[in-house]
Each structure stands twice: as C-alpha cells, then as structure tokens.
Structure 1
Amino acid sequence: MADARLLDTGSTPLRFARGWHCLGLAESFRDGKPHGVQGFGTKLVVWADSRGELNVLDGYCRHMGGDLTQGAVKGDNIACPFHDWRWGGDGRCQQIPYARRVPLRARTQRYETAVVNDQLLVWHDPEGSPADRSILPPQLADLDTYTDWIWNAEHIEGSHCRELIDNVVDMAHFYYVHFAFPTDFRNVFEGHTATQYMQSKGRPDKAGGYGSAELFLKSEATYYGPSYMVNWLDVDYKGFETEVILINCHIPTGPDSFLLQYGITVKKPEGLDDKTAAFIASKYAEMFGSGFLQDVHIWKNKVPVQNPLLCEEDGPVYQLRRWYEQFYVDVADVRPEMTDRFEFEVDTTKANEFWQVEVAENLAAMAAQESDDASVPAEA
C-alpha cells in the first residue's frame, strides 16, 4: 500500500554510552583472582590489590595480546599468562621479570572505579574524560537494615540496550507483558536522570510477573545516567507491606548486546528473623526476575524501531530518547532539549476501563472452563 507506514529499523550507535556502568557485586571480585567481564566491545580484567581496592583494565596485554583474565594476581598487579608482564591498577606496566627495564610507553586502558551500594562501577567515555563523580548513583542509606543482595545476570543478544531504556515510559506493557494494572503513571526527565513513578495492582486472570489480584505496588524508578537504575518499591501483598529496593543495571557488551544485571534487597520487617527476611527477599527476586525474563522474550523477537507510531497513552517515547541521546554524543554536542526538565503524566482512565472488562471476560471464561472440566466424568 502506498500510504503504509514503513518501519525504520535504523542502525546501532558506533559508540558506547558515556557514564557509570555496573560490573556486579564488589565482593565477588575480592577473592584474590582475576575476573573477566565482557564490556564495551572488549573484555575487562578485574582484580583486588593487597588493600582490597578494585582495579579494572582492558583484558588484553599490550605486549603480545595475552588474556590477562587467564593470568594471576601477583602482589598488587595482574600478571599476563603469556610472558608475565605485570600491570598495575594505574594502567602502567610495573615489572617485566626477564627485562632490564620497562618501556616508557607501556601503558594500557584503565577504567576509573567506584563502589556504590556494594557494587563495582566503572566510568566509560569515548572522549577519554576523567570520571565525573558528581553524577554517581546515590549511596542508599541504612543498607544494614536490609537483606543481603540477591544478584542475577542475563546476557541479551540481538538487542541494543535502548530497548531496555524504552520501558521507562511504556505504561501499557506492564499490563500485557507483566500482568499488572498501572493506575497512575508519570515521568520526569532532568539532567542525567530519568524517573518513572507508577502505582499498579496485579491482574487476577494471570499468574507470573506481577500477576496477582492481591499485589499492589507503589514504584519510583530512576535511571542515574545511561545504565544504572534504582527502583524503590512499596509492596502490599495480602496486607503484608514490604519495602523493596531493586537495582536494574546493564553494561553493553557489543553494538547490539548487553549484560543485564538486577539485584533485590528487602528491608527486614520488624519482628522477623534474618532467615525469614531472606526468604521474603528470594520470593520477590523470583517475581521481579520473571518480569525481566518476560521482557527478554520480547526483546529477542522484536525489531528496533526508530520511528515508532504512537498513541498518547504510549507516553513520551521520543522525549525519553532525546534524553538518552546525551550519553552517545560528545559533551560539547549535548543540547538543552536532552537535559532540560520534562514532565509527562499518562491518563490511564481509558486503558483501565478496557482492561477491567477484558479481565472480567477472561475470568468468566476460566470459570466456565473449570465448570466444563468438572462435569466430565473420570475414566473408569
């Protein structure tokens, strides 16, 4: 058809986002061994020195390309398994055991680090600027009153990480993918942050994800930069109220792949022992983890769309993408429309009217099916 709208699938960016990216729980790297993490189109090597400080370098030795993640921690340095060149956390070669001196230009790619909320973050910038510590994610208060982090990771192939970011404004997918009714939904973008405020209840006709008629959520989720989101959740399940913090973060591994990581911690309810609190945290980790897997299924089967055709209930997709673009251009090219404050509230009235009718019809059909099943006599 001549007037049919065509999909513009575009092309993936030629660079990776500027900003702070999370590699995982800091303690997992403090075992005296080198660790490999895929990121920014290469492999990174992570290790702890004798003081417990975490260091991150490009994972390949600048001498002859040896894989430093297969080497060994020797003193404060990471030693290459190929020729034992030893690299310090400052990115300089500190020692070549068989050589009289170290070449003056023996330097490699170093990533500045920070530990926030028990997680290791690294700074990445294609322009090579020093780390901007003023835009680090916030350190969460009173974490000692919460359970230990339950941490999970899922590698996503065939999707650019913008697919994940689009969810910030996508009200309707919570109903169709995560089985929830968003009753209030609004967004605020400003500077390097993008926030989603939502209240929702579970669908009684679905199980899995957020699907439960007795589940109510009050959510505030903020991206601090391109890849690290803190989601504060007040959860009411059958009258039992719980404060949950969800960390949703990712690191790009290639032009159209990324490592999705998410962690859950639950404020320990008064009167409950640590074991019971940890059990509650594990159940919420399963619930939110299943939600991420529902998204993963969508991402693996969709195509990118640069020119989405939208209705007003779809939220400010284009404004969010302008906000996100600031991390993919040089700092000198960041425009005011990428960082100026922007607010938008989705009117959920029409959606909830339709969804209530649909759920009622589904429940009636389910009840009729159960009645038919019960009327069929069992085989002798």
Structure 2
Amino acid sequence: MNSRVNILASDLDATDTKRHPFSSYPNGWYIIGTSADVKAGDVKTYRYFGQEIVVFRTKSGELSAVEPYCPHLGAHLGNGHVESETIVCPFHAWGFAADGRCEHIPYADRIPAKASLKPWHFREQGGLILLYWNRDGLAPSSNDAFPVPVEFSAESWSQAKTTTPLEVRTHVQELAENAFDLGHFSGLHGMGYPDVKIDDIDENSMHFTQKMDYRQGGIRLQYEVKLEQCGPNTAISRVTWGSIELILIVTNTPIDEEHIHIRTVVAIKNPASPLLREILFRYAFWYTRKELKKDVPIWESKRYHAKPMLCHADGPINTLRDWIQRYY
C-alpha cells in the first residue's frame, strides 16, 4: 500500500518561506545598557534596530542619545568628544547640546536654523538606559511605560546588576513565547512541568504565576515565580525560594533584522549576609545563562509557525500571541 501523501502548496503554512512573518522591531521600550556604562564625558556608539546610535553624557551628567552623523558633512559623532554640555564633532568642531540642537560653530557667528541632530526618545530608570522604538517615529505615550520594578529604588533591596549581553540569531517574540511554552521546561531544561495561572492581562503587560516542584541532581526544588511579560521583549520574574526573594529580568533588544542582544538583570532583597548576597548574584547569573544557552540552538535554527499544532497542555502560547500583536 502506498502511504505517500501529496502536500499541496495551499496546505503549507505561509511562514514556511520566512522565519518570522512580522517586523523584527516591535514598538516599545528597550534596554541598551546601564547608567554606569556611560560616565560623565563619555561618548559611546551602540548598534540597535539596524542602525548606529551615539550616546553621550555631558559634564554635568545629562544623558543624550542621538543619530550618529553630523548634519554638516557627515562625520561620525562616535569619534567626537564632550566639552562641557555639548558633543563636539571630530571634523569641524560643531557642538551639539543634549537635545540635538547645534549650539556652537567655532568659525562662524551664525548657526543654520536647521542644524541639529535627531534625538532618540530615551530615559534612565533604576540604573538602566532605555530607548523607545516606534516604526512610525511616534513619541511614547503614557500607555507605553516600561515598568522598572519599584524594588530597584528600595533601600531593602540591592542595587540591580546586569550581565554582558548574549547575541543570538532569533526574534524578540521567541523569548516572550518561551515563558509561555510550558512543555519545553521539561523537555529541554529538565525542570518538570510547571503549574501556571494567568492572573491579569492589561494594556502593557501579562501577569501570571508559575509554580515548580521537581527534583534535580537528587535535590527537591520548590519555588514560585510571579512573572510579568512587559511588552514584546521583557519578562520580569519575582522569585520566592524559601526566605530568599529576588527579581530577575530577562530582556532583549534587536540588533538588526536577524539578531538580538539578551540581557539578564538581577536585584536581591538584602539578606543578612553580604557574602550570601554575592553568592546569590553569581548563582542567578550563572544559572540563567546556562539555561538560556540550551535554548539558543533551538532559536537559531527554528521556524515560526503561525498555526502551530498545539496540544491542550502546551500552555497559553496563543493567548500571548493575540496580546502581543498590539506592538506591531
């Protein structure tokens, strides 16, 4: 008996010809670094969203993020330097303020009215530097808030720390789906199958509770995670493990259409022992990076299916997909 099945072109998922059938840059706030990365007088060049971004801090401490090329004759301002409250072009020494306006031309007594740099929408919060991306160039609204945890400013919590970003060939949305893909925790990470309950869904975030109870290396591990998916790119986990409380943020920013940077940010409710705090930091970073690296070869080789063949126990993947469409 011939068991071959003829597959028609109309039967194929439309995504079979493209890895991800949507924009590589969903609208929203993205972490590009920490405040400590850019000290007073520093000039740094970052590459995100398929373009370069020059970030500098004036002598008084004001941060700015601007387009990289001088509007005069196109010199790259990443090669410039800070003088007082301006970034100075390395070619003709035109000086630009933090808001992008040209304030000084050393050999001219008049400044062209349109001499300015395009500034990015950005902010510093909780020791993090965030940029806002909108495909139509719109400014962020109050509904586009990035909820940096209030604990990051609380005296009873440690200062947040972050890791060197991990570059991966994948899409922002793949990481969001990862948290809702319950089956992979057991199949790929050997963690057992979590108990998950969606607590709330609002304009900016999805809140759910995840409980784990499993054995690893002969040790029984029990913990509860309050997880908040913020926009398309950031998951904030509040982890309780006995008397230990910590906040773990896994966030990612698109470098270009094929690659992202993944960052881990951790803050810990201060234990009695500074040594224990340091051990917890190191363990959180080590464990998160170890588990993320298990996902990397999957992300870098998989294809997105718009109509996946899910079973009832796979988790609320489609709920996330429906909600996340607002960012495209």
TM-score normalised by the shorter chain: which range applies? 0.7 to 0.9
Tell me the SS of whatever aligns to 1:46: strand
Q: Is 1:261 matched up with 2:263?
A: yes
Greater helix proportion: 1
2:146 corresponds in structure 1 to: 136
Q: How far 1:155 moved relative to its partner?
A: 4.1
The answer to whether residue 39 in structure 2 is matched with residue 35 in structure 1 is no
Larger deviation, residues 118-127 vs 9-18: 9-18
Determine if contact 2:210/2:224 at 8 Å carries over to the other structure.
Answer: yes
Which residue number corresponds to residue 148 of structure 1? 159
Matched residues in 2 for 1:65 and 1:14: separation? 29
**Which of the numbers 135, 150, 159 marks the counterpart of 2:170?**
159
Once the two structures are TM-superposed, the CA of residue 157 in structure 1 deviates from its matched residue by 4.2
Q: Give 5+ residue unaligned stretches, structure 2.
A: none
Query: Identity over the aligned pairs, expressed in percent?
Result: 23
- Residues 148-188 of structure 1, C-alpha deviation per residue, up to 9 Å, x if partnerless? 33311334343111111111311111112222123311334
Letter in 1 for 2:311: C
Distance in 2 between residues matched to 1:280 and 1:20, nearest whole Å:
28
Measured in 2, the distance between the counterparts of 1:52 and 1:109 equals: 20
Q: Is the 8 A contact 2:213 2:222 kept in 1?
A: yes
Q: What secondary structure, in the 3-state scheme, does the structure 2 residue paired with 1:281 have?
A: helix
Q: Tell me the SS of whatever aligns to 1:144.
A: coil
Q: Pairwise mapping of residues 191-230 of structure 1 onto structure 2 (< 5 A)?
A: 191-204=203-216, 213-230=219-236
> Residue 181 of structure 1: SS of its match in structure 2?
coil
Q: Aligned ranges for residues 244-255 of structure 1 at < 5 Å?
A: 244-255=246-257
Q: Does 1:282 align with 2:293?
A: no
Distance 1:229 1:62 in 2: 38
The superposition leaves residues 308-348 of structure 1 with CA deviations (integer Å, 9 ceiling, x where unpaired) of 221121223233122112111xxxxxxxxxxxxxxxxxxxx
For the residue of structure 2 that corresponds to 1:300, the secondary structure is helix
Q: Measured at CA, do residues 256 and 84 of structure 1 come closer, stay the same or move farther in structure 2, by a change above 3 Å?
A: same
Length, aligned pairs only:
316
Alignment partner, residue 372 of structure 1? none
Aligned in 2, Cα 1:63/1:282: closer, same or farther, shift over 3 Å? same
Which residue is 1:360 aligned to?
A: none
Shift in Å at residue 69 of structure 1? 1.9
Q: 1:234 deviation in Å?
A: 0.8
Q: What CA distance in whole angstroms lies between the structure 2 residues aligned with 1:125 and 1:70?
A: 27
**Mind listing any 5+ residue stretches in structure 1 that lack a counterpart?**
206-211, 329-380
Q: Is structure 2 residue 195 aligned with structure 1 residue 184? A: yes
After superposition, the C-alpha distances for 1:107-141 in whole angstroms (9 at most, x for unaligned) are 22211222222211122222232322452314423
Asked if structure 2 preserves the Cα contact closer than 8 Å seen for 1:155 and 1:257, the reply is no
**Shift in alpha-carbon separation, 1:31–1:280, aligned structure 2, 3 A:** same
| Counterparts in 2 of 1:6 and 1:59: CA distance versus 1, 3 Å | same
* SS of equivalent to 1:121: strand
With normalisation by structure 2, the TM-score equals: 0.87
